[in-house]
Structures are given as C-alpha cells and as structure tokens.
Chains A and B, each alone.
Chain A
C-alpha cells in the first residue's frame, strides 16, 4: 500500500526531517545573518580591497548613524508602532548642536539630544493619550520638525566653528582603530540588548507589541511604555543627528531625509515583525550591516548608476522579506 510506504519512508528520515525543521527555524530567525555572510563571502572573493581594515571600518562608520536610528526604531516597531519622524529629528539635533557649539561640546550635545527626546516624548504622549495612530502622529511630526528646522536655518547649513573641535571630533576621531561613531554604535546596541532582554521596560515593550489589550488587562501601564519608546527613538535619532553634523562640520537642515525609511528597512530586513512583539536588536544590527554592505558592493562595482542601485536595493529588500515570510510560515 502506498500509504504504508510513505509512512515508513518518513519514519526512516525522521532525523533528516528534524534537521530540516531546525534549519528552517534557524533560517527564519537568522535569514538576514545568512544573507550577510553570503554577501561578505561574495565580496571577499570578488574584490581584493573588501577585506581591508580601511574598507570595513568605513562601512561601519558610514552606517553608524543609521544604526542608531534603527536601534530606536526597533523599540518602536516591537511595540507595534512606527516612527516616521526620526529623519527630521536628526536634522533638528544636528542644527541645534551646531548652533550651540560655542557653549561647549557637552552642552551642545546634551541640549540637542534633549530637544529631540522631548519631541519624541510628544509623539508618544499624543499616541498613547489621544489614541491616534503612530503613523499619522509621527508623519505630522516629520513634516513639522523639518519645516521648523528649514525655517530656523533659512535652508542654510550651520557651520560648527573652529572653536568647537571637541564636537567635530565626535564625528571624526578614532578610539584606537575604531571611529568614535562606531564606538557609540557598539555601546548603545549592547545597552539596547540589555534593556530589551533584561529589564522590565524591555519585556513590556515586547508585551505591548504582542497583544496590547491583554497587556493592559494584565495591569501594565501601556501608556508609559509607549511614551518611553518614542522618547527613546527621538533621543537616538538626535544622537545620530549630532554625530552626523560633527562628522561633516555643519548642521544641515536637510540631514536625515529618507533615513526614517532606511531605518525601517533595516529593522524589517533584520527580521523584526512590523506587527510587533517579535524581533531583537541583534537582528536590526544585522539588517543595518546587510544594507550597508550592499551599498559597499555597488561602490566596488562602480558601473551601476545610483538609480539602478536604488532599484536593486528595493528588489533585494523585497526578496529578503518574502523569503523570511515564507520560512516563518512553514512551521
């Protein structure tokens, strides 16, 4: 009987099936990691200069601002929300820091980050208290904050004077072989991991994205968590904006344009679900590096025009997400 045959067949390869199931679940969680390794191997074989310290450090530095923004975005997306205002907040912080550079680097940085934290807090309060969708609230903030910074600067960049070399050094100096922004990136991702996995706030972020109504009925102060993640996202976007201004020696009112979408892309490619409740900061780090490396590969190739690069990046994003989706549904 054919049925009996199938049964025996499957019994015989039980081990194989288990291995395949394990691989599928690994691939689902680590799909981006696998892609990252694949891109690295491809690039290492194809381009001599890929594995040089200079190139790798460069890739890291170029992506550290985006990484910080994506870190904040991870918290927001884990609660099931979205933050479209981060790109504009980067510009706000950059311009604020440049304007205040004369007061000393510390004051400039703290004040700039404080401003964007407050703007993030405003996002959170409106979302949690007035119960308006995050998409709308942060879209409004994105438009308004960009307008504010353009109006304030008259569309011109604000230079960071010679007087404040401490500030510019934040974007340009190295700690040993490591650029300062990369140090920030590593330290803050480590902190982010700690917070998400080992503090109440972090676990409540997951709880909120899992089922907000259940979380509320279980006695969680959901408003506090919501406000917290948007404030955090604002703070990290602000820091990214400051580092960006420091590196370029000027606060630009157009800084960070489109970075909100790049950050969302990095988070999603990493494997964090847009619906919330599942994902991690490590996944986001992988997502950021993956998108960054692809850019790096395009640079090595040289002949692909920026427009076609955009097309390819869009396609790549789609493919990664489809594959992950497939794998996760297989369970």
Chain B
C-alpha cells in the first residue's frame, strides 16, 4: 500500500440526535504516523466524530474507510478488533477492578483457558514502567486519583498496538510531568506508524505534538491544515469563525485582581488544617473581593485543602471561619449554608446528575431560594437559567435537554453556573476551565473576575499557570500536603510558581536566600513582612 493512502478516512459523516444535527458532512483523513489535532468549540462535535470512528455511536450518513477498505463499526469491540482504539473524554474505567484488569479487559492473557494473573500483572507492570508511571498494577483503580486514572486509560489505549489511537482531551486532568510522559508516548506511537487523533483545548499542546489540524465548527467541517506555519490567532479565527480584528488580545480574560486591604478581617480563614499525611498544617486566608490562586503538583494537597475547607473530608485539626464565624468540621451542609461553594475537579462523579435536564442541574443548589413553601417558581428559575446559559454560552438544544447529552465542556459550564447562581460569598474553583474552549474560557474568567469585584472571595486551584498568574492577587503554593510559600504582586510569574512548586522556594525566600526557609513557610499572610510590592493592576 502506498504511503499516500490514509490509514483511516471518513467522508461526509452526519449524525443526528433526536432531530438535532450534531455533525453534518464532516471529512477527516488520517495519515500513517501523523498526529492529527481535532479542534473546535465546546459542542462542535469532536467527541461525537470520534465516537462514530470507534463504534460507540453509529453514523446517520457518510462513509468510513480503513486502509482503503469500507468499514462499518457497530460496537467499540468491532473497532478495537480492527485496531481503532479510543481513550474517551470522560475517564471511563472500572472503579472496583485493578489497574491491570482495566488495561487488559477483554484481552486477559490466559493459560489453559484460565486467566494468567501473574502474566497479566507482569505485563501491566512492564507497560506502566515503560510509560514512566509508578502505579501498582494490582491496586484497585478507585484508589488512584483522577490523573493517574487518566494515565491508566491512556496506557490501555496504547497497549493495543493499534493503527489509530484517539485521545479525547487526554491532558485535562494531567499535570505537567504526566503531560511530558504523554508526549513521549505519542512520539513513540508516531514512530511506529500509528495515527494519533489528539483533541485538546490547550493550543500549546497542539503545537507541541501535532502535525496537522482539522477544525470543526457547529458540527461542520471547516478545514484541515498543517500546523506548521499556521499562526495561533488564525487557528482561533477558524475555530470561532471570526476575523482577526475581532479577537481580544491576551491569553486570559482576567483584568488583574485586587488585593485585600491590610488589617481587614479575612472573608475566609482556614487555619492549621491537618489530615493525615495529605494535609499538614495548612493555612489559607482569602479576603472579600480577592482571588487567591493555588498552585502545586498533583497530590500536593490542593484539592485536599479545598475539600477540607468545604467540609467534604473531616480534618483532624484546624479551623475554618467564614466572616469570623467558625464552621463545624466536616459539615458540608453548614459550609454551603454559610455561603461556601465548591466546584469540584471530578465533575463526573461528584457533580452532574446525568438524567436530569440542564435546567434542573443548573438550579439544583439554588432551589430553596427559588421556591416559596416548597413550590419552585418556574419563572424565576427560567430567568436564572436563561441568564447563565447566555452568559456562559452553554450550548444545548434547550434548557430541558438532559445534561448527559451535552458536550463535556458544556456540562462543565452548567456546573459552574450551579454554584454561581447561589450567590455564594466564597467560591472554591478546582480547575475551573478544564476542558473549556478558548472562547468560553475567557467568558468564565471575566465572570469570576466581575463577581470578585463585587465582593466574592475566590480560591482558584489551577494547573494552568497563565490563569493563576493573570487572575490571582496572591498565589499559594502547595507541596507534599504543605503550604510551601506564597507569591504576591510582581513576584507572581510562571517561572516563580514552577520554581516554588518544585523546590518549595518562593520569591521572598529566594530574596532572603535562606536554605531553610522553604519547606516550613506556613506563616499566615498577615504576619509576613510588609516588603511586598503592590499588586499589579491594583
């Protein structure tokens, strides 16, 4: 077969979901050994297209060819048998089963008809090691955090020796280190001649690993281009269907945050939180109108801090106060009642209620406020739902569509809206813009910024450093369950955050050049020397 013949070719693909066209006449051709990016706004149809490619959905029109031969995958099993494999957007694995079982499900090695557990665990261990992952193949999947689960899903995907591997937003919960591992994996697949489809909303990633890009807009094919020589801004234009001049400059939509006036009682103070080895004496304070960023590698205690503040995990020691009033330890109800909101990172498990409509999911937390004597005011509900759907650009057929049917990014927006419409006093965002397209990201960021201006306190956990740098007035850096420092004002830069995450050295500590300062800097901000430069933009 000639090299020019695509491994996989899709032509005129159309998909209609109960009357709504999700894809119309989409073409895609994958060459051997290429990494092909698929981009488009939330709801553009990326996931739908690859689900059709891998047999999870059946198409309503169009044709598909594998190595020139017309194929028709009816189930993921069919597609896998032909060497077309996907790692889907939502981590879709088996929680109670072991890592090795998840990787080899359906292909378990056997001896005399019985599963060869030893072989399976050894194979899995070798595979994980090759990918640079320190995961016990015999651990139940449920004992791993989301990032590691995602790596297991990826390990499963690459273990097939497939012709085509699809990665739908593979990096959404990965940290920098794991993203590097993933790049290595992708390069190896490429060298072996595998075609890789790579879906992501993070453009730097696309430019790092991808050769060509196909752009979808509103379920339609826009273009396929080589990435080399295509400017980022032009790519965004193609994606949004706008002209260059119409686009706003800057990577995030934060205007630059204000810092709390000294001496004021903080809106929220969490003091000396302690929980096993995961949280060691962590103190965080957030003032009214302040956006405090929280940085750290995976497992550094960021999410644990958030959960402890919210009362989702009970702490062994420590105190959380909102407006000076102590909140009972480990009581989510009390936290919510006093005005704390928490957008969790694991939306699938902790957030959406798949069978309920967008309307119901969105207003779930606000229902008490929307009802009189237990009867929900439909008018007020509609008003709120409309407002947020418009403001966040939530793409759904209508407010009564089941949330399960929305694209990943749009589900996310609904969850964010759920908390925002409660008018919280203090909002914890754990990876607020993960999986959100570039246009909507700006909307979310500017909305959070606006809310902060009107007095909301925000604790924003993010692995996207730009977001932290441009959005926060202070950045708290975590490592190994400890708070290892804080950056303020002009010290907040990507380089400084990375250094602090890695070494536990903050800007201040470097200045003082004390070798011992790093791991123990847990002083509350109020007690720090007033040598802090003024916040930028303030």
> Which residues of A approach B to under 8 Å, CB–CB?
3, 6-7, 10, 194, 198-200, 203-204, 206-207, 210-211, 213-221, 277-278
Contacts and interface: CB of A to CB of B under 8 A. Distances in A.
Contact of B316 (A6, A203, A221, A277): A6
A220 B316 contact: no
Given A6-B317, A210-B97, A214-B93, A220 B114 contact: no
A218 B156 contact: yes
B359 interface: no
Contact of A3 (B88, B117, B272): B272
A68 to B, nearest CB: 23
A203 B101 contact: yes
A200 B76 contact: no
17 contacts: A3-B272, A3-B274, A3-B318, A7-B316, A203-B97, A203-B108, A204-B105, A206-B97, A207-B94, A210-B97, A214-B92, A215-B94, A217-B88, A219-B75, A219-B76, A219-B79, A221-B77
Contact of A210 (B94, B106, B318): B94
A71 B105 CA distance: 24
Interface residues of B, number: 31
Kindly list the 3 A-B residue pairs having the minimum CB-CB distance in the complex, ordered from nearest.
A210-B94, A214-B92, A219-B80
Nearest to B94: A210
Given A198-B115, A219-B75, A206 B96 contact: yes
Nearest to B79: A219
A211 B92 contact: yes
B110 interface: yes
Contact of A213 (B79, B92, B114): B92
Majority SS of interface residues in chain B?
Answer: mixed
A220 B76 CA distance: 8
Nearest to A200: B108
B113 interface: yes
Given A215-B94, A217-B88, A7 B274 contact: yes
B377 interface: no
Given A213-B92, A214-B93, 14 more contacts: A3-B317, A198-B115, A200-B106, A200-B108, A200-B110, A200-B115, A204-B105, A210-B96, A211-B94, A215-B94, A218-B76, A218-B105, A219-B81, A277-B95
Contacts of A219: 75-77, 79-81, 105-106
B80 to A, nearest CB: 4
B451 interface: no
Contact of A217 (B76, B115, B316): B76
B56 interface: yes
Contacts of B113: 199
A206 B108 CA distance: 14
Contacts of A3: 272, 274, 317-318
B105 A220 contact: yes
A207 B98 CA distance: 11
Nearest to A212: B94
Contacts of B274: 3, 7
Contacts of B94: 206-207, 210-211, 214-215, 277
Given A198-B115, A199-B115, A203-B105, A217 B92 contact: yes
A103 B32 CA distance: 65
Nearest to B317: A3
A218 B272 contact: no
Contact of A216 (B76, B102, B316): B76
Most-contacted residue by chain B among A7, A199, A207, A217 (CB, 10 A): A217
